[in-house]
Amino acid sequence: MPQPEQSEQPEQLGPLATAFKDLPADAHPEQWNAFYEQAHHPWDRAGPSLALKDLLLQRPDLVPPPSPGATALVPGCGLGHDALLLASLGYDAWGLDVSETGLAMARRNEQAQRDEGYEQYPVREGHERGRVHWVRGDFFADDWAAGAGGPFDLIFDYTFLCALPLDLRPRWAKQVTHLLAPRGRLVCLEFPVGKPHRDIGPPWGLNPEVYEALLATPGEPLHYDARGDGTVVSAPSPKPRDDALHRLSLIKPLRTHKAGYYEDGTVRDFVSVWSR
């Protein structure tokens, strides 16, 4: 007797994917703020990015140490760990977020670190600690940037691009290139590498190919393979773009956040460094 066809089981969505599924983009800021108000922020790593710290301390050929007054931006800064790290390494750091509640938590985090003598954030030798500025704003708007320190000498992206709906990725590329100083560096801790795009986010799956396609043609839409594995299907740009960013290096860091490891203990994430 023929067996009945088994229907595909629906994907079990987590709290983030459930909350953002079918939610209009203009309602996303309110939803992110609601998560902070509920003290539900699983994307927080409870400390700075060790992969970023190692890169900045060990690879001056890729990211030269900051000169006095150099600026750094962390979009979607959350509780501010990476903005505090960048300040300890000599940058005037700007932590940007759409959530006022999240920024209030970042300010409390900064005060707690100050009370502890910045034990977790020692100053880079030969540099002074930079200032930290907390800014509430929409990354895609220009109003906040007018009063900030942009264009920025360094921009660090982690758990920000992966939180955006897929159709906003080209706008991310356009804006990040607009905000980067002529000799600046964009540093991406690429996460979550290997997650198929057919799996609903946030976080949405990313891989090095996606970053390369986005930043080579900022603002242009991407087309993905129908299999949903994240493969980009796009015709190459007919000529080089003046606003394009070029990847200087793609690195498998020696250490990263716990979320960036495979179950066997090997690192899953990549670190990429970009310039004009």
More confidently predicted of 97 and 3: 97
pLDDT of 24 > 80? The answer is yes
**Upper half-sphere CA count for residue 140 (Cβ side, 13 Å):** 15
pLDDT of 4 > 60? The answer is no
The mean pLDDT value for 118-131 works out to: 94
Looking at residue 237, its pLDDT comes to 65
> In this predicted model, what pLDDT tens digit does every residue of 229-264 receive, in sequence order?
778 887 656 677 889 999 999 999 999 999 999 999
The mean pLDDT value for 215-231 works out to: 87
Which domains, from first to last, does the chain contain?
45-275 (3.40.50.150)
208-213: long-range pairs with CB below 8 Å, 24+: 208/250, 208/270, 208/272, 210/169, 211/247, 211/272, 212/247
Looking at residue 173, its pLDDT comes to 97
> In this predicted model, what pLDDT tens digit does every residue of 146-155 receive, in sequence order?
788 779 999 9
Contact in structure between 172 and 214 (CB atoms under 8 Å): yes
CA–CA dist 82, 94 (Å, integer): 10
Contact in structure between 171 and 246 (CB atoms under 8 Å): no
Could you tell me the two tokens for 18? 């459930």
pLDDT of 58 > 90? The answer is yes
CA–CA dist 127, 91 (Å, integer): 9
